[in-house]
Amino acid sequence: MLIDPTFSSVFHKEFEINFTQCLPSGRLKYTELCNLLQLTAAIHADLGGISFTDMQKFNQAWVLSRMRVEIKALPQWKDIVTVKTWINTLENSRSIRALEIHLNGEKIIGCETFWAVFNTEKRRPESLALEHEHFELFPDLKATEESFSKIIINPEKEEVFGKSVILSDLDIVNHVNHVKYLEWCMDVVDEKIILNQKINSFEMNFMRELSLRDQVVIHENISDESIVFSITKEDKNCFALQLNLV
């Protein structure tokens, strides 16, 4: 485990938004937004000596359990944004990480994420095997106005479509990456909601991992204030997404 000499407990990373990351409106895709957040968290963990490579010596990896994103505005093509991240809590097998995206010195997006240490052989949570006391924690420094909430899955949900998990859905931990779940759901949202930026926040809750060739069903429940998606395997909930609308 090596700690980079440039490591700091509060980390900043600049990104330029390129055209492959953008919607037809020229604004950043919601999936690409999550990719930027995921990449920044990974780079910070790498600098601090608790990266995927470090953890794999103990057959461990960080996996995302919950995520809340609050959006004031989406950046657009050629914007240079700064992603800022720090850790609120880190104890045993769990950690809450905060992230913000700033544009021209103004915070435009806040995110709260809940991570678990996962044994990639046993496929279950366990305590972090690596030293991490060098990370200063900021439990009172929040990136979002609200914390995680319980996503209510309405039994009156409508089945939208079914699919089989394919190789391109998987990440380095050998399960479906959280951005893929979001992509599956966003693909069936009314394009006017997305292109006109009618989503002011969203939450994701990951309950069970999905693997190659798993058969899943995506469900949807729409109200005036929100759209709730759930993904099931063999009638058991694996994932929930709530899009909160303006």
Query: pLDDT of 16-59, one tens digit each?
Result: 999 999 999 999 999 999 999 999 999 999 999 999 999 999 99
Domains of the chain: 1-148 (3.10.129.10), 149-246 (3.10.129.10)
Q: Is the pLDDT of residue 231 over 90?
A: yes
Residues 159-178 as b or e (16 or more Cβ within 10 Å = b): eeeeeebeeebbeebebbbb
Q: How large is the average pLDDT for residues 125-140? A: 95
Phi, psi of 95 (to 5 degrees): -150, 140
| Interatomic CA distance for residues 37 and 63, integer angstroms | 14
Q: For residue 223, what pLDDT band results from cuts at 50, 70 and 90?
A: very high
What does pLDDT average to over the chain?
96
Residue 48: half-sphere exposure toward Cβ, Cα within 13 Å = 22
Reported residue count of the chain is 246
pLDDT digits (tens, 9 = 90+) for 88-108: 999 989 999 999 999 999 999
β-sheet bridge partners, residue 83 = 13, 101
User: Could you tell me the pTM of the whole model?
Assistant: 0.95
The percent of residues in the chain predicted with pLDDT above 70, rounded, is 100
Q: What is the pLDDT of residue 18?
A: 98
Q: How large is the average pLDDT for residues 213-236? A: 96
pLDDT digits (tens, 9 = 90+) for 141-178: 999 999 998 899 988 889 999 999 999 999 999 999 99
Q: In the chain, count H helices and then E strands.
A: 4, 11
Q: For residue 203, what pLDDT band results from cuts at 50, 70 and 90?
A: very high
Q: What is the pLDDT of residue 156?
A: 82
Q: Is the pLDDT of residue 2 over 90?
A: no
Q: How large is the average pLDDT for residues 172-194? A: 96
What residue type is 150 in one-letter code? K
